[in-house]
Amino acid sequence: MTAPASATVSDNPLLRDGAGPSGLPDFAAVKPDHFPPAFDAALKAHRAEIAAIAGQPAAPDFVNTVDALEQSGAALTRIANVFFVLAGADTSDALQAVERDVAPLLSRHDSEIFLDAALFGRIDALWRRHRAGELTGEQALSAEQARVLERYHVRFMRAGAALDRDSKARLASIGERLASLGTAFGQNVLADESDYTLVLDDDDLAGLPDFVRAAAKAAAEERGHAGKHAVTLLRSSIEPFLTFSARRDLREKAHRAWLARGEGGGKTDNRAIIAEMVALRAERARLMGYDNFAAFRLDDQMARTPQAARDLLDQVWGQAKRRAGTEREELQAMIRAEGGNFTLAPWDWRYYAEKVRKARFDLDEGQIKPYLQLDKMIEMAFEAARRLFGLSFTPADIPLYHPDARAWRVTGRDGREIGLFIGDYFARPSKHSGAWMTSFRDQERLAGTVTPIIVNVMNFAKPRPGEPALLSFDDATTLFHEFGHGLHGLLSDVTYPLLAGTNVATDFVELPSQLYEHWLTVPDLLGAYAHHYKTGEPMPRALIDKVLAAKTFNQGCATIEYTSSALVDLDLHGRPAEAGLDVSAFERDSLARIGMPDDIVMRHRLPHFQHLFSGDGYAAGYYSYMWSEVLDADAFAAFTEAGDPFDPATAKRLHDFIYSAGNRRDPAEAYKAFRGRMPSVDALLKKRGLIETEAA
């Protein structure tokens, strides 16, 4: 990158020594053109550090090689963390341009490190000595040090460090190209979501309750249509519209636009990007000695093999299809009862499911949402963390990157500082869709006591000024889910950055988040924080009971939406390298093979499947949510068996072996240390209501 003339190193706020008292940069002073020179300077410094480690004459030992490697690149990590938080949560055309430049640069830099023959030689020699039992006396490794060394050796090997020169060069080239393609993919999806607005006239509002109308009015004002109402392609906007709109024609129009993201045929069409990424990943796997990318990816996960992941998904798929068949019959019966002369379609499912839920449970979303105020749900998530882990959250008045973001200082039972938590909850055009946890700083002790700065990013509908933000039950579940990830980062208690917080296997990382969702449905806790936004009255126990009774309603459909996405992911990445992949045809064929119902759609179609293509994070790994759900269903059962959702002994084991442990242990060993055994899939099937419980 070439630094703009206006951004010199001397006045660059990203390169000033140290950070502010909060550990965060001066966001008001940081401009997009500060990032290129900051990255250039940090990359240069890190290269020098790596060269010094690799080229030193002393024989490799843990301190001069692994410790040194762990402490290198601090400035680069800090700058990259700031940049990618902004690029995801508050981007701009200027930041997107920097992102397109920096993504391949960072990939090339990583390749230079992990393909460095001299550096790998030191890691490999140290690993071999450890395996041979030669590191004794003063050189003996602690359990955590042994785990760090093991993970570094695995990372170097999986990066191709042991390959020949030509293969290394090709792997580096593949990595750079994938980084550029992943950036383009995510920016294309954001563009499609930002560009689409379905403006509604008064006649188009039929069926929409007040809270949906209010959100639609706010969305219209934000998109430049004052006095109107609008639906956008953000999930927090379109899903309520599909649930309540009585206008079938508009439901279809909005739903088709939702499905078509990334597949519009213009400059934001992602299909060619997907085809190239899949081919490059397959080539990468072949260079590493694997038959396909799925086999390569899962070899270092809990599942170990694509077949193990598929076996789990297949067990769930059959049960989900049976349940969805029953659900379909109920919805079609509702259509007939209302005099409808049409067959249930995907844009009808949410609308009629809500009607059936209301009829069966005397419950609809309009009854629930007034009780689920965003601020109260945040307090409820904090209270559960206090009762489980002794944490306290105190509002922190510090400057952040956007006015909607807010911060809390987190302390433990003894008053000791744990970290800083930042919540950024509202949708806006500058924010990528979805919900995620990230960080400005991870916990460690190698460079002294370093506390984490954790961020939760969500996309809830922003209320009009003076009105409270009201959540659907799904929204509240998302808040608890991401806060579970947040706790995984906040409670991290390790020495080495490589092992900190969420730096664990992909099919284990969702355990702390999905498990935390269970505390949203603890009746006493929900009753204490679910207060009506107008009257202040707590949610009646009768209504809480209805909410809990309806938890497994429509789970056939929801499970098919998820599982189909995971199965298509495994199919796509289980292929050898192939030129000219027709992405749309492949998706259709894959869904036909598994018998996808016509009236249910994938939760994420391939052209906008950011888990898979905005980076490699979940490529061949979307099954991870289901794998982790087997664990989380069984893990919460430990509290049920103890007779208390906050049982102190169970909570301590959960803290010690899951939330604070980072990657100190193999994930299966960590889970068994908490639970005493591994779970079976039955716990998940019962949780989703796909098989009858013993009590029933």
Mean pLDDT by 10 residues, the chain (696 residues): 53 78 89 97 98 97 98 97 97 97 97 98 98 95 98 98 98 97 97 95 94 92 93 93 97 98 96 96 97 97 97 96 97 96 97 96 91 98 98 97 98 97 96 96 95 97 91 96 98 98 97 98 96 96 94 96 98 86 96 97 97 93 96 96 98 98 97 96 92 54
First and final C-alpha spacing in the chain:
64
C-alpha distances in Å from residue 593, one per residue of 581, 586, 603: 17, 10, 18
Q: How far apart are CA 508 and CA 625, in angstroms?
A: 9
Q: How far apart are CA 387 and CA 398, in angstroms?
A: 27
**Side-by-side strand order, sheet with 453-460:** 392-396, 406-411, 417-426, 453-460, 436-441
Select from 554, 544, 556 the least CA-distant residue to 363.
544
Contacts of 78 (CB under 8 A, 6+ apart): 19, 440, 441
Instruction: List, as one string, the DSSP characters of 542-577.
Output: HHHHHHHHTTTTTHHHHHHHHHHHHHHHHHHHTSPP
Q: What's the pTM?
A: 0.95
Q: How far apart are CA 242 and CA 235, in angstroms?
A: 10
Within 13 A of 136's CA, how many CA atoms are on the CB side? 3
Which position among 482, 510, 561, 629 bears the catalytic label?
482
Q: How far apart are CA 653 and CA 636, in angstroms?
A: 12
Please list the residues that pair with 456 across neighbouring strands.
423, 437
Predicted pLDDT of residue 5: 44
The length of the chain in residues reads: 696
Select from 629, 622, 617 the least CA-distant residue to 572.
622
C-alpha distances in Å from residue 570, one per residue of 272, 537, 622: 19, 48, 8
Look up residue 227 and give its amino acid.
G
**Largest distance between two CA atoms of the chain:** 84
Angle separating helix axes 506-516 and 624-642, nearest 10 degrees: 40
Do the Cβ atoms of 439 and 472 come closer than 8 Å? Answer: no
Q: Please report which residue ranges of 459-505 form alpha helices under DSSP H.
A: 473-490
Predicted pLDDT of residue 364: 87
Sign for the CA dihedral angle at 37, 39, 42, 46 comes to negative
Do the Cβ atoms of 563 and 316 come closer than 8 Å? Answer: yes
Predicted pLDDT of residue 616: 87
Q: How far apart are CA 366 and CA 415, in angstroms?
A: 41
Q: How far apart are CA 277 and CA 616, in angstroms?
A: 10
Predicted pLDDT of residue 497: 97
Neighbours of 475 (CB within 10 A): 24
Catalytic residue check, 329? no
Predicted pLDDT of residue 696: 32
Predicted pLDDT of residue 615: 86
Spell out the domains of the chain, with CATH numbers in brackets: 9-162 (1.10.1370.40), 196-259 (no CATH), 271-363+554-622 (1.10.1370.10)
Q: How far apart are CA 696 and CA 676, in angstroms?
A: 27
Reduced to 3 states (helix: H, G, I; strand: E, B; else coil), residue 369 is helix
